[in-house]
Structure 1
Amino acid sequence: MTARTPLVIGLDCGTGGARAIVSDLAGTVRGMATRPYPTSFPRPGWAEQKPTDWWRAACEAVREAVSLAGAAPEDILAISADGTSSTLVALDEAGAPIGPAILWMDSRASAQARRMTACGDPALSRCRAGVSSEWMIPRILWLKENEPEIFDRARWFVEMADYISFRLSGRLTLGLNQATNRWFHGGLQGGWPTEFFARIGLAGITDRFPADVLSLGAPIGPIAPLVADAMGLGRNTLVVCGGTDAYVAMVGLDVCEPGRTAFITGSSHLVLCMTDRADEVPGLFGPHPDCVVSGLYVLEGGQVSSGSIIKWWHDHFGIALSEGEDPYAAMMRRAADIPIGADGLVALDFWQGNRNPYTDYDLQGAIWGLTLKHSPDHMLRALIESVAYGTENILRTLAANDVPVTSLTACGGSVRSRFLLQMHADVSGLPISVPKVSEATAFGSAIVAAVGAGAFRDLPEAASAMVSEDFVIEPDAEAGARYAPVFEDYRATHAALAPLMHAKARGNPMPT
């Protein structure tokens, strides 16, 4: 009898849908499938999704990926799921969701986040720039203050990834990864800052967090029998603790050693530096201990709106302007034909606020410099450049604080466009490496599953064995010199417009 190949599954529940990857232990992807789910925007700045939509998409994506891989149920050693960061799910006593989940990009908790920042508690040491309204604790406080009936009904508060793991296994846990980088947990040597929670009005809230806080790659337990049948998996398949999508992507990019930096692109962009230093960087989040690799730290800088801006353009204008060509390809081609600087247009990428380095969710998008010379293609070019300048703003913050970044390892939507990758490389002056498996988040979850199944000693060993490089984009120094003054215009535009945006967001008269 021919021996079967052991396989693992990574399940990425992202902003737009679920993606499942089936991989062998050498890093060869055997099958991949995706299923979309919708987002609703009931009010300006709000964003919600239905957990039932996640679960339907997850089951369908896993079943199709297993079928495409030609895998027998008993071939699947383990499965691990990641989810969007700080997507809040309130569960009742029976573990059923109470209403829609509050999606990561939702900014309704800005006031709660500002109050937390102002309290100056020692628990805020890893977010000196300010508490993000995207994080879980401001959202839970918002629920208490604005929807007390939901808050009172909620027995448990969990992340998207924890909910998916619960549905897979029947065991309710909380991932140390997301608890450390989004819930103020102190890592392996720390714990919950209960005095801080009491200070902000959430005394006793940890009783509504799952008691079992597990490290990335820790086994949760066997898959629930009915789920195994629904997904086409064997009943001995192990469910392994996952985490926040971008942090799991670090594993899929082999960014598991100090000095390496991940560049995760998609609806939002993230720059994640692995470091062995516990030094804070003003304007960035972290360093978060133990949230990916035990004993190491992650520094985080991110943009709330990046790929989502490009998608917005596509949805409203891209198809109409594509003239029969693939809309995204047509958009990138037309934008590439516009000169650097978009003939004087300057845009801001703060369409859902700014995460880093300003941590200001009252900021909004903007574009100025318009004349009758400009076309829609100029506007698209300026919007795309604003995304690259937002990334550069984070990299400049790292450089100003003696955190060396010599290269970026990228994944996500941007890697499908050489134009976008080249722009980021030129603006930053850094080479950008792209691995062979560009869907690094789902692939990272597959690597995490392999570690949980015992196939490798730890995440660094597994990532080194399973990840390989595809190509590198080198920066063009001449183009970089032309981008540099426009980047300074970008920063000056923020400084000039921030007071107006703050006044508008808070219902105050415009400053004169």
Structure 2
Amino acid sequence: MDQQVVIGVDYGTLSGRAVVVSAADGAELGGAVVEYPHGVLDRRLPSGVRLGPSWALQVPQDWREVLRRAVPAALAAAGVRPEQVIGIGTDFTACTVLPTTADGAPLCELDDLRDRPHAYPKLWKHHAAQPQADRINALAAERGEPWLPRYGGKISSEWQFAKALQVLEEDPEVFARADRWIEAADWIVWQLCGQETRNLCTAGYKGIHQGGYPSKEYLEALHPGFSGLLAKLDHPLSAMGERAGGLSAAGAALTGLPEGIAVAIGNVDAHVTAVAARAVEPGQMLAVMGTSTCHVMNSAVLAEIPGMCGVVENGIVPGLWGYEAGQSGVGDIFAWFLRCGLPPEYAAEARERGISGHELLTEKAARQQVGEHGLVALDWHNGNRSVLVDHDLSGVLVGCTLQTAPEDIYRALLEATAFGTRTIIDAFQTAGVEVTELIVAGGLLRSPFLMQLYADVIRRPLSVIDSEQGPALGAAIHAAVAAGAHPDVRTASAAMGKVRKNAYVPDPRRADAYDALYAIYTELHDHFGRDTDLLHRLRRIRDTGR
């Protein structure tokens, strides 16, 4: 009998990837990656229309191209025939959200709306809705809205309601013409099975759904007509691992897979990775580290944690409270420094040795003792998601001298992101949600130096996912459940997930040295994040000239 397989498709910030996985044991048989032709639109639309500061949009056709090209390529790489596939699952960055017609057509694909920025999907790191988020938070606090504590006291500019309010206020025609306001995680499933579904995960964490959406009265108090968003969102919510439907004829033509196979309910990239990393029990915090970092964990305890991105019942696995926190910039910060701070002689050395700039700077930084560079940085180059929930904050570097070298700054930036993760863990611990283990997944696992640095900074052993495609594997695990190969996500995680326990153990001497730097980081964090509006004033000068 032919081996039964499932396919997981992971939609990231710059590319999508498909992985073919054994439905029995999670063995990864082959995969393929497709870069988005348009990448991230952060300066102008494809037509040339300019975008304002802090915008980040995407093009839906790029997402379809992943299905059209990556799925057949992954099957070919795996040596698997399409008829062996019993299910397909997907995950997406979030909150990545778009306005569509009633039948799911993105408004940006309509001829008369192609030049309207608000007709395009807003990527997770679209931060231009910060003023709307500020007003959502202020009014919710003033009215004592019961859902606000479930989000750490603040809604992010990255989430659905802030982005939707920006559309209403800046382009009311686009808002009116949107029959549906839908997460990309659900939209891509719509493309596969031909019917709209909504998943509990994105609705809970990104859509302020806590047994229901915010009231009409509250939304109207924010802006007249804003309660119209509720009709654009309204749809039954499905739990993780459920079957969205069968692959439609159009979905089969797009992917080359058999019509009728199971399509799993959509999911968020970080949350779906929890089952791939076997991080499904209380106390296991999963950090998915890439361009940004998302921290998710399950707990039997319901608590209010300052700055958390959300706590949702059954949000990750059934029967537990699922928590989320995160950092808006991690790998993006390292890439920024390489782009802007690598001297020509360093670039020449990297070329001569056949290594990347990251590898060269890591090698030089690794020769240092902790604190030798005399620097501390704040990891807010893309704002702060947790615990301050303020995307108008920006990066800070202190301690530079005329002797400061590029590797010094690079190491300080690596350390800053580790300090940011420790700040999040401390917030969970203080609130009574015990973190017993940190498990890491994502592209940054490729740096052993960075992983050891994190273990030393947070003073905990690090376990790591034993897969280079954690989200795609997690999506495939959900597909296996949707197809009936496993009875539930916990069972499927045990059979198909992969993890290396205690892969990195903290060094006590380095950990002690990092405690001193972390104390300085915390002092800077509270000063620039809470005690002064200096960074906000700089942002206003940048954006308005005054």
User: Shared topology, TM-score over 0.5?
Assistant: yes
The one-letter code sitting in structure 2 at the alignment partner of 1:21 is V
Check the 8 A contact 1:174/1:213 in 2, yes or no: yes
- Is the alpha carbon distance of 1:81 and 1:336 closer, same or farther for their aligned partners in structure 2, counting shifts above 3 Å? same
**Whole-angstrom distance in 2 between the partners of 1:122 and 1:71:** 51
Tell me the SS of whatever aligns to 2:151: coil
Q: What is the Cα deviation at residue 97 of structure 1? A: 1.3
The 5 Å alignment of 1:93-492 reads 93-99=102-108, 100-119=120-139, 120=141, 121-186=145-210, 190-195=211-216, 196-201=218-223, 202-209=226-233, 211-317=235-341, 320=347, 322-324=350-352, 325-327=354-356, 328-341=358-371, 343-470=373-500, 472-492=503-523
Q: Which one is further off, 434-443 or 157-166?
A: 434-443
Check the 8 A contact 2:92/2:184 in 1, yes or no: yes
Unaligned 5+ runs, structure 2 = 44-51, 109-119
**Whole-angstrom distance in 2 between the partners of 1:220 and 1:495:** 45
Check the 8 A contact 1:342/1:381 in 2, yes or no: no
Q: Which residue of 2 aligns with 1:505?
A: 539
Q: What is the Cα deviation at residue 337 of structure 1? A: 2.5
- Is the alpha carbon distance of 1:379 and 1:165 closer, same or farther for their aligned partners in structure 2, counting shifts above 3 Å? same
Q: What is the Cα deviation at residue 21 of structure 1? A: 1.0
Cα deviation digits, residues 149-202 of structure 1 (max 9, x gap): 22122111111111111111111121111001111112xxx2233344344332
Tell me the SS of whatever aligns to 2:351: coil
Q: What is the Cα deviation at residue 338 of structure 1? A: 3.4
Q: Which one is further off, 305-314 or 334-343?
A: 334-343
The one-letter code sitting in structure 2 at the alignment partner of 1:236 is G
Check the 8 A contact 1:123/1:184 in 2, yes or no: yes
Check the 8 A contact 2:10/2:16 in 1, yes or no: yes
- Is the alpha carbon distance of 1:501 and 1:382 closer, same or farther for their aligned partners in structure 2, counting shifts above 3 Å? same
Q: Which residue of 1 aligns with 2:65?
A: 56
Q: Which one is further off, 33-42 or 227-236?
A: 227-236
- Is the alpha carbon distance of 1:495 and 1:276 closer, same or farther for their aligned partners in structure 2, counting shifts above 3 Å? closer
Tell me the SS of whatever aligns to 1:122: coil
- Is the alpha carbon distance of 1:193 and 1:314 closer, same or farther for their aligned partners in structure 2, counting shifts above 3 Å? same
Cα deviation digits, residues 84-112 of structure 1 (max 9, x gap): 01111111234221232111011111111
**Whole-angstrom distance in 1 between the partners of 2:235 and 2:313:** 20
Cα deviation digits, residues 388-423 of structure 1 (max 9, x gap): 111111011112222221221111022111101101
Q: Which residue of 1 aligns with 2:114?
A: none
**Of 12, 19, 23, which residue of structure 1 is paired with 2:21?**
23
The alignment of Structure 1 onto Structure 2 pairs a total of residues equal to 504
**Whole-angstrom distance in 1 between the partners of 2:368 and 2:387:** 29
Tell me the SS of whatever aligns to 2:102: coil
Check the 8 A contact 1:173/1:210 in 2, yes or no: no
**Whole-angstrom distance in 2 between the partners of 1:381 and 1:258:** 33
Tell me the SS of whatever aligns to 2:421: helix
Q: What is the Cα deviation at residue 317 of structure 1? A: 4.8
Q: What is the Cα deviation at residue 335 of structure 1? A: 2.4
**Whole-angstrom distance in 2 between the partners of 1:112 and 1:133:** 7
**Of 55, 75, 93, which residue of structure 2 is paired with 1:46?**
55
Check the 8 A contact 1:269/1:304 in 2, yes or no: yes
**Whole-angstrom distance in 2 between the partners of 1:364 and 1:131:** 18
Check the 8 A contact 1:84/1:104 in 2, yes or no: yes
Check the 8 A contact 1:272/1:301 in 2, yes or no: yes
Q: What is the Cα deviation at residue 227 of structure 1? A: 2.8
Check the 8 A contact 2:181/2:229 in 1, yes or no: no
Q: Which one is further off, 422-431 or 260-269?
A: 260-269
Q: Which residue of 2 aligns with 1:34?
A: 33
**Of 59, 62, 69, which residue of structure 1 is paired with 2:78?**
69
**Whole-angstrom distance in 2 between the partners of 1:442 and 1:23:** 9
**Whole-angstrom distance in 2 between the partners of 1:501 and 1:343:** 24
Check the 8 A contact 1:288/1:299 in 2, yes or no: yes
**Whole-angstrom distance in 1 between the partners of 2:157 and 2:466:** 35
Cα deviation digits, residues 293-337 of structure 1 (max 9, x gap): 222111222100011111223344558252333213223212222
Tell me the TM-score normalised to structure 2 length: 0.88
Check the 8 A contact 2:88/2:476 in 1, yes or no: yes
Q: What is the Cα deviation at residue 507 of structure 1? A: 5.1
- Is the alpha carbon distance of 1:305 and 1:18 closer, same or farther for their aligned partners in structure 2, counting shifts above 3 Å? same
Q: What is the Cα deviation at residue 496 of structure 1? A: 3.4
**Whole-angstrom distance in 2 between the partners of 1:61 and 1:334:** 37
Q: RMSD across aligned C-alpha pairs, in angstroms?
A: 1.9
**Whole-angstrom distance in 2 between the partners of 1:392 and 1:24:** 36
Check the 8 A contact 1:129/1:359 in 2, yes or no: no
Q: What is the Cα deviation at residue 452 of structure 1? A: 0.6
Unaligned 5+ runs, structure 1 = none
**Whole-angstrom distance in 2 between the partners of 1:89 and 1:39:** 14
Tell me the SS of whatever aligns to 1:343: coil
- Is the alpha carbon distance of 1:22 and 1:288 closer, same or farther for their aligned partners in structure 2, counting shifts above 3 Å? same
**Whole-angstrom distance in 2 between the partners of 1:392 and 1:124:** 24
The one-letter code sitting in structure 2 at the alignment partner of 1:16 is L
- Is the alpha carbon distance of 1:399 and 1:469 closer, same or farther for their aligned partners in structure 2, counting shifts above 3 Å? same
Q: Which one is further off, 27-36 or 278-287?
A: 278-287
**Whole-angstrom distance in 2 between the partners of 1:260 and 1:392:** 15
Q: What is the Cα deviation at residue 210 of structure 1? A: 5.1
Q: What is the Cα deviation at residue 214 of structure 1? A: 1.5
Check the 8 A contact 2:156/2:385 in 1, yes or no: yes
**Whole-angstrom distance in 2 between the partners of 1:82 and 1:497:** 35
Tell me the SS of whatever aligns to 1:71: coil
Q: Which residue of 2 aligns with 1:494?
A: 525
**Whole-angstrom distance in 1 between the partners of 2:221 and 2:206:** 18
Q: What is the Cα deviation at residue 342 of structure 1? A: 5.2
Regions of 4+ moved over 6 Å = none
Tell me the TM-score normalised to structure 1 length: 0.94
**Whole-angstrom distance in 1 between the partners of 2:99 and 2:369:** 48
Check the 8 A contact 2:248/2:260 in 1, yes or no: no
Q: What is the Cα deviation at residue 20 of structure 1? A: 0.8
Q: What is the Cα deviation at residue 53 of structure 1? A: 1.1
The one-letter code sitting in structure 2 at the alignment partner of 1:477 is P
